[in-house]
Amino acid sequence: MKADVRANQSRAILDAEEALLRARLLAILPGVATGGSQLFLNSRNSPKGTARYSHEEADDLFASARRCIELRANLGLDGEGGVADHFLIACREAASGDAHRHGPRKLAEWLLTKITS
């Protein structure tokens, strides 16, 4: 009984965190897609030299996405394919050393299509 209550509370926290992450991304991504600001670089996954150019929301969004993945794992849910997973994929690509990686505009466009479909 207590386990069910805790699981329901954890699921409610996850749902709220994912909804907030999605809403924040939907508000920010159109501007990133047109302006190219560095939303996907942050102090946690990027070299210090490039992280200083990151969008003001980058660290908070990265932390929120990580919380969503952690909450999903704690509930035994798959984290792949969700808003948080897609955002973290974009962050990894932006921080990679691949010379052919997508820039912030393309990553923002890709992420927008993933979270609105």
pLDDT tens digits, 77-108 = 998 989 999 999 999 999 888 899 999 999 99
- The CA distance from 59 to 37, in Å, is 14
Tokens of 24: 């924040």
Q: Three-state SS for 27? A: helix
Q: Three-state SS for 55? A: coil
Q: What pLDDT does residue 20 have?
A: 97
- The CA distance from 51 to 74, in Å, is 30
The stretch 27-35 carries a mean pLDDT of: 95
Split into its structural domains, the chain has a count of 1
Mean pLDDT over each residue of the chain, to the nearest integer: 89
| 89 and 106 Cβ atoms separated by less than 8 Å | no
Say what the pTM is.
0.89
Q: What pLDDT does residue 4 have?
A: 80
Tokens 């955002």 -> residue: 87
Domain holding 112, by residue range, is 2-116
